[in-house]
Structure 1
Amino acid sequence: MKIVVQRSKQASVTVEEQITGQISYGYVLLVGVTHADTMEDVTYLADKVANLRIFEDDEGKMNRSLLDVGGEVLSISQFTLYGDCRKGRRPSFVEAAKPDYAKELYEAFNNKLEELGIHVQTGIFGAHMEVELVNSGPVTILLESPTRS
């Protein structure tokens, strides 16, 4: 799995001119799933997201987690994170998981975050979405599940 984490002051996602998810303070997550991902990856990355310390403490250092600050998550499925642009001019998405499997792991990831006590909002899996956010910092981090041999 790959996740782009963007620290946000506010964010929303719109599908067909309807807001389907909205947060005030926390993370916007772009979540990509590959065919080799498992529930182990879901658990690892949910824990990493919940405990990643990229919010400032009283001294202005990135030392507080999403759980520490009571932040929310706007989670967006993003198969294009597995786009391979090394050959030609059009990305290849052969490393992205098939939609049914990707949706299963994406939903499991969001559920795992909720089990950890984080309020999660989402877009609609597979839909054309418009995402708006105010990236605070800006802070953007790329997380990946551990490489398997």
Structure 2
Amino acid sequence: MLALIQRVTDAQVDINSNTIARILTGILAFICVEDKDNITHFEKMAHKLLKQRIFEDENGKMNKSLIDIKGGLLLVPQFTLVANTDRGLRPSFSNACPPQLAKQKFEFFCAFLQQQYDQIQQGQFGANMQVTLINDGPVTLWLKV
């Protein structure tokens, strides 16, 4: 399981000019589920997303988590994170989870997180989404479990 996370002051997902998800201060997480991912991977990633200390404390140090600041979490499915770009100029997606299974796993992961934290929004699997964000910092991290 892979995630590219960005600390944001605003982020939203639009489909056909309609906003389907929006958060203010929090984390925008682009999520890629892999074939091998199971409940253990989901638990570890959920822990990292909710507890990653990337928000500033009173002293300006990145010491607070999403839970500490009560921020929003916007989950956006993005299979292209698994792309292999080692050879040539066209990315290979041979390591990607098959679409139907990936959709089930992404939706399960979102539901799993919603049981632990109530400020979650999500993009739509398989849709042509336009993601708008204001990256705060900028702070951008790769998470892998």
TM-score calculated relative to the size of structure 2: 0.96
| Equivalence for 2:88 | 88
Aligned pairs for 1:40-79 (under 5 A) are: 40-79=40-79
CA drift of 1:100 comes to: 1.5
State the 1:112 CA deviation.
2.1
Note the alpha carbon deviations across 1:34-66, whole angstroms, 9 max, x for none.
111112101110011101111000001000000
Q: Is the 8 A contact 1:15 1:123 kept in 2?
A: no
Amino acid at match of 2:58: D
Gaps of 5+ in 2: none
The aligned amino acid for 2:86 is: R
Note the C-alpha offset of 1:118: 3.7
Aligned equivalents of 2:112, 2:140: Cα separation in 1: 22
- Give the aligned length: 145
Find the counterpart in structure 1 of residue 33 from structure 2.
33
Q: What's the Cα RMSD here?
A: 0.9
* Cα drift, residue 96 of structure 1: 0.9
SS in 1 for 2:42: helix
Q: Deviations over 1:121-142 (max 9, x none)?
A: 1111001111000000000010
Partner of residue 113, structure 2: 113
Distance in 1 separating the partners of 2:85 and 2:71: 34
Aligned residue in 1 for 2:9: 9
Q: For 1:109 and 1:143, how far apart are their aligned partners in 2?
A: 15
Is the CA contact 1:67–1:118 (under 8 Å) kept in the aligned structure 2?
A: no
Contact 1:10 / 1:134 at 8 angstroms: preserved in 2?
Answer: yes
- For 2:118 and 2:83, the matched residues in 1 are separated by 29
CA contact (8 A) 1:71 1:118 kept: no
Q: Which residue of 1 aligns with 2:137?
A: 137
The residue identity in structure 2 corresponding to 1:98 is P
Structure 1 unaligned blocks of 5 or more: none
| 2-11 or 97-106: bigger deviation | 97-106
Identity of aligned residues (%): 38
Moved over 6 A (4+): none
Q: Counterparts of 1:59 and 1:116 in 2: how far apart (Å)?
A: 28
Conserved 8 A contact 1:50-1:116: no
